[in-house]
Amino acid sequence: MPVFENGDVTIHYEEAGDGFPLLVIPGGGLNSTIANLSEGAPFNPLQEFSDAYRCITLDLRNAPAGRSHGPLEPDRPWDAYTDDHIALMDHLGCDRFLVLGFCIGGPFIWNLIRRAGEHIPAAVLAQPSGSRPDQRDLFYETNMKGWARSLKAKRPDLSDTELNAFLTKMYRTDPDFVFTVSRDFVRECETPVLILPDDIPAHPYAVAMESAHLAPNAQVSLYPWKEKPEQIPLALRHVRMFLDANRP
């Protein structure tokens, strides 16, 4: 697995295929790792799209099961992760790139578009994360019990105060919608997006569909698209058509 060092951040990443660059953001929340693409995702984009695209993926910084690491940056958690995505693609010479993200990849994609939209022709949000009005603390609580505890076991230099501040800023300071951008931003976003909704507590159907209704150039997959194995090829066909149509 290649390594990219950017200051005090070390990112482990993987590539597959040739062609126009496609950044793939694995699911798993703050435990997002390359391994999740083959162990927990409905499909592995590196296997499905490397015949036509240069697929690039990475272990998220400080995912306990991953190999990427760096400071927490509790004052700007979402932007710190977006820094890593942008820096990696710049390091690999990808001035323009498509994005496909699972789960936490949804908020990351909106933040990437906000910060580097001119470099992103289109994006696919698969089972994106979002905030449920009846469970505003869902991500804070689950990550304090899971991610924070696992990371502290690996990084005893981190304090409970730092971890709490990080998750509070990430999930409690603005615990609405898609966490990283406002509804007004999505409403004015011209970037084409394809949304594949899910409907579990961490991936609320209502938020995915609200994003699709707001974004002027949004498409939505058939739903449900992954309950049965025979449904996934149809969703993949839609994803490929969308990527091919929006590839420069």
CB contact at 8 A, 65 and 146: no
Mean pLDDT, the chain, rounded, equals 97
Q: What pLDDT, on a 0 to 100 scale, did the predictor assign at position 32?
A: 98
Q: Is the peptide bond before 175 cis (omega within 30 degrees of 0)?
A: no
Mean pLDDT of 81-101: 98
Q: Residue 219: is its pLDDT beyond 90?
A: yes
> Quick one: three-class SS letters along 168-196?
HHHHCCCCCCCCCCCHHHHHHCCCCEEEE
By the 8 A CB rule, do 11 and 58 touch?
yes
Determine the pLDDT at residue 233.
Answer: 97
> Structure pTM?
0.97
Residue 210: what pLDDT? 98
144, pLDDT greater than 90: yes
Percent of the chain with pLDDT over 90: 99
pLDDT at 1 over 90: no
Model confidence at 65, pLDDT cuts 50, 70, 90, reads very high
Residue 213: Cβ within 10 Å count:
12
pLDDT number for residue 23: 99
Q: Is the distance from CB of 102 to CB of 23 less than 8 angstroms? A: no
Once rounded to an integer, what is the mean pLDDT over residues 29-47?
97
Predicted local confidence at residue 103, as pLDDT = 98
The residue written with tokens 């058509």 in the block is 241
Whole-number percent of the chain with pLDDT over 70: 100
Residue 51 pLDDT grade (very low, low, confident, very high; cuts 50, 70, 90): very high
The single-letter DSSP state of residue 60 is P
Please tell me the distance from the alpha carbon of residue 180 to that of residue 165, in angstroms, as a whole number.
Answer: 17
Give the pLDDT confidence score for residue 82 in this predicted structure.
Answer: 98
The pairing of beta strand 193-196 with beta strand 20-25: unpaired
